[in-house]
Structure 1
């Protein structure tokens, strides 16, 4: 590989495109030809891409590679990443979420599933910050792909914290009932929760209340929702390579949001805008229903 790499300033290196691997991207829909043409049409040099050194896999910049090829170029500027493959995938997701052509909602959820598997101790918020999802959505994905979970997670600051879960609270309530003299710290360590949570459990029990707050009980009762799979539609050339088809795909992708995601959006609406947003949402829903009816009617012709 050394003969195909030319060192440049700023940590960049010039690499032959033929040596790069473009598979394994978190983007399931493949290359967006329109975006490639847009990148290739500019006279400016293409920004450096990010490549995993040990595998030569492109982590960030696949569209720039295709744009360079469309320009007739044989080499491209590269910044190498030297971590392991699991961390390389995390970097690929993080890079593709933050700039360039954004990952679809489905891609981000698939990426979160993979990160949960490779980094099970990461917190929901930590994975959310990488994947571009809401922490509540990551929690729902985790519950679906790893229902057993863990009793502690590593936050974005690197600190390991116990999970404030309903199971932990119920374990704490049993310990308090069976060992009235047990200290809060001992209860917290045995139940896998924070000392403050153990204190709250004890106070709730003294007040004759359920050790698990109502909000947590409701959350545990709601099953996670998996968004529709749009992969087959995205692969259909009749949609991918027509302007109307791309509009339809973007429209479908915009509405591929989990129940938790919709709830988070609803919670973020200011109260003085609630009526206007609700009315617009209702009109949009009616328009989509009308569109669905027209599509099905066309199929029956």
Structure 2
């Protein structure tokens, strides 16, 4: 659950007159999805509280629930109030739709990214991507189309609230030096010392593991070798990490797991909830793997390593059996299949 959701859930649940609510301003370009309203009616259970912007009484999250309540002949609906600006209300609407309920279509998420970039021009591409559920590269494309998008001072605000330069080549090289000199440093320690984000530190580590330069040459997005021989980057073998360690995947898995937790087929069955607990456990502890590895007692290391391999084999078999490798067509191809489905593009 995101901090925004936790803050909303602390608000009291009120009985709201449906006639007082404003249903306009949804991030959904196509409007109401009749099939989703029918699904809510078929569930035949109390609807979760909606979220309403107090100053305007506009429904931030729950327009389909309101329609279902009207179909049931109800004149009131349970809801929580949100105090904030119009831009903050829209941002919350996108956030909530990214974590549960009916997924926003790809076009909706791109349009939402345009509005968020216009309202918060200093936000980094990754921060906007985390809210909208599209890849940072797609956010960068959207940013180039938005007139007046800021960042002219060469700095942006990351997901952790820190301001960082757009060109972090110096920070990347410092991070690479720190990792080379002390392979036991965690990603967060390196990121803090080099004034880069933990995600950038992870990318630096992965590049060093593959023998690539920690600070790749910047070139226009989409530029490629159109003529002549393709150039292969110089590879420099570096002894950086303990044997057996593997680079961590780049996509934000918390976004995927949050999307899965909103799927009724998983939430309302025992086996589905068990799966969600396993996935959530992995998500919550991902950033602490380094600390966990460093603190395994030596006399337990062989047993723990063997168990980890067995569990990895179980997950691999699980992935094969559920067909996790099948690709879902989409025009936003920068994230893996799991992300594309989780973000609502499938």
| TM-score by shorter chain over 0.5 | yes
- Aligned twin of 1:41: 42
- Aligned twin of 2:132: 131
Q: Give ranges in structure 1 of 5+ residues lacking alignment.
A: 1-8, 169-193, 197-211, 223-253, 269-301
TM-aligned CA deviation for residue 41 of structure 1: 2.4
Does 2:156 match 1:153? yes
Deviations 1:118-154 (A, max 9, x none): 0101111111111011111111111222487412111
Does 2:333 match 1:262? yes
Q: Secondary structure at the match of 1:262?
A: coil
TM-aligned CA deviation for residue 221 of structure 1: 3.9
TM-score normalised over the length of structure 1: 0.55
Q: Secondary structure at the match of 1:219?
A: coil
Aligned 8 A contact 1:50 1:59 in 2: yes
Q: Distance in 2 between matches of 1:17 and 1:86?
A: 23
Count of aligned pairs between the two proteins: 184
Give the 5 Å matches for 1:1-301: 11-146=12-147, 149-150=150-151, 151-164=154-167, 213-214=216-217, 216-219=218-221, 221=223, 255-257=329-331, 261-265=332-336
Q: Distance in 2 between matches of 1:117 and 1:32?
A: 27
Runs of 4+ residues over 6 Å off in structure 1: none
Deviations 1:214-240 (A, max 9, x none): 4x2152748xxxxxxxxxxxxxxxxxx
In structure 2, the CA distance between the partners of 1:38 and 1:263, relative to structure 1 (3 Å rule), is closer
Aligned 8 A contact 2:118 2:148 in 1: no
In structure 2, the CA distance between the partners of 1:16 and 1:126, relative to structure 1 (3 Å rule), is same
Deviations 1:252-271 (A, max 9, x none): xx7452xxx324439x9xxx
In structure 2, the CA distance between the partners of 1:51 and 1:100, relative to structure 1 (3 Å rule), is same
TM-score normalised over the length of structure 2: 0.49
Q: Distance in 2 between matches of 1:155 and 1:85?
A: 22
Q: Distance in 2 between matches of 1:156 and 1:112?
A: 15
- Aligned twin of 1:285: none
- Greater per-residue helix proportion: 1
Q: Give ranges in structure 2 of 5+ residues lacking alignment.
A: 1-9, 171-193, 197-214, 225-327, 340-346
Q: Secondary structure at the match of 2:23?
A: coil
Q: Secondary structure at the match of 2:60?
A: strand
